Amino acid sequence: MAGNGGVTPKHSELLAQDVPPADVIPILDRYLMFYIRTADKLQRTARWLENLPGGLKYLQEVVLEDKLGICASLEAQMQELVDSYFDEWAEAVNNPAIAKKFKQFANTDEGLDNMETEIDREQSRPVYWAKDPAKNDFKGLAGKWSELTWQPVVEAAFFKGADETPNGISANIKRGDTQLAVWKIRGRYYATQQMCPHKRAFILSDGLVGEDLGTPPPTPPSSDCSDAGKEDSACSGSGNAARPAPWVSCPYHKRNFDLANGACKNDGELSIATFEAEERADGMVYLKLPPVEELDAELGTARWMVRKGEGAEPFRELDRKINFRGQRAKKPGIKSTVGIVSQNKAVEAAGCGGAAPEW
């Protein structure tokens, strides 16, 4: 017991031997509970044992000889842990309130495929990232829609507690075939397309929210914005460009987008569409959106999802460089057709030790 790997590995030590089978579990219970009750947070068992007064001998006296008279208590505490155990995943699946949090969209039980799949080594996997980003002027769509109307998209109750967290709460919304990301951050609502144009991944609602250092936080909208009749830009989550807005960083490759105007802060060729958003007295969050047909034509999932043949083949060029022959993942006993030199070239070509390629 009390061995570990890591930077300073340590072999385990023998706690007891020739133990009657009926005593094995009680001894393990005492040992584990004594560790739980006396170790520091995140402390490895090896370091814990080294810090015990008397080390292994003291531990043996406590859990084998009951030197402190606490063995019965340690066993009882472990039994309490065992009795209180439950399957958290089963609880999530069987509890409607918890299971609801794992829906793809906050406003419907419907689902959409975000990318196609293909068979690789007899297993299904998502297709590779798109070769090129979508460089369309998505933020320029704001001036191209034929009309914009306020439409209810999700219950405001979904964002309960958003004002108590620095990054607010986000939601993925389905409107027709289009996916939209909605945030409530420090009392204000923001809405954008869900697709990050860099690799055409529908992921922005799961992004990291931040703001420029030294920039004052956005001012919450006035209470008048709950009036359904107020539709001017001062009541929207992104309509007042004079007020600073946070940005969202795509969780995959960290492209940062302004939630107010859709500009990409670290890649001038990319942008996202943004929409005005507000909460109203009827308990719904409204977005100012174009007709569904126009929305789908520009931002629809079917248009932008990555399909077979579109993605870059990250290993094909590598195989060409090293003159690779044969098949990967051969059955045991099959001799490789690639020598050690070629394999070393593969490591060099992959750029190991430098920046990782965006596979």
Tens of pLDDT along 224-257? 454 444 444 444 444 444 457 899 999 999 999 9
* 22 CB-side CA count, 13 A: 0
Tell me the pLDDT tens digit for each residue of 57-87.
999 999 999 999 999 999 999 999 999 999 9
pLDDT at 318 over 90: no
At residue 82, φ and ψ (nearest 5 deg) are: -60, -45
β-pairing verdict for 123-126 and 277-279: unpaired
DSSP, residue by residue, 325-350: -S-SSPPTTPPPSS-HHHHHHHHHHH
Q: Is 5 exposed, middle or buried (0-12, 13-18, 19+ CB in 10 A)?
A: exposed
pLDDT in the model for residue 335: 62
pLDDT at 347 over 60: no
CATH architecture for the domain at 117-304: 3-layer Sandwich (2.102)
pLDDT in the model for residue 312: 74
Confidence of residue 349 (pLDDT cuts 50, 70, 90): very low
pLDDT in the model for residue 231: 45
pLDDT at 329 over 90: no
State mean pLDDT over 279-296. Answer: 98
Contact 247, 258 (CB under 8 A): yes
pLDDT in the model for residue 236: 45
Q: Where are the domains of the chain?
A: 21-83, 117-304, 316-350
Residue position matching structure tokens 């999932």: 301
Confidence of residue 160 (pLDDT cuts 50, 70, 90): very high
Buried b (16+ CB within 10 A) or exposed e, 63-102: bbeeeeebbeebbebbeeeeeeeeeeeeeeeeeeeeeeee
Identify the weakest region by mean pLDDT among 104-113, 210-219, 320-329.
210-219
Q: Where are the beta strands (DSSP E) in the chain?
A: 117-120, 123-126, 149-155, 169-175, 178-185, 188-193, 195-196, 201-202, 208-210, 247-249, 256-258, 274-275, 277-279, 284-289
Length of the chain: 359
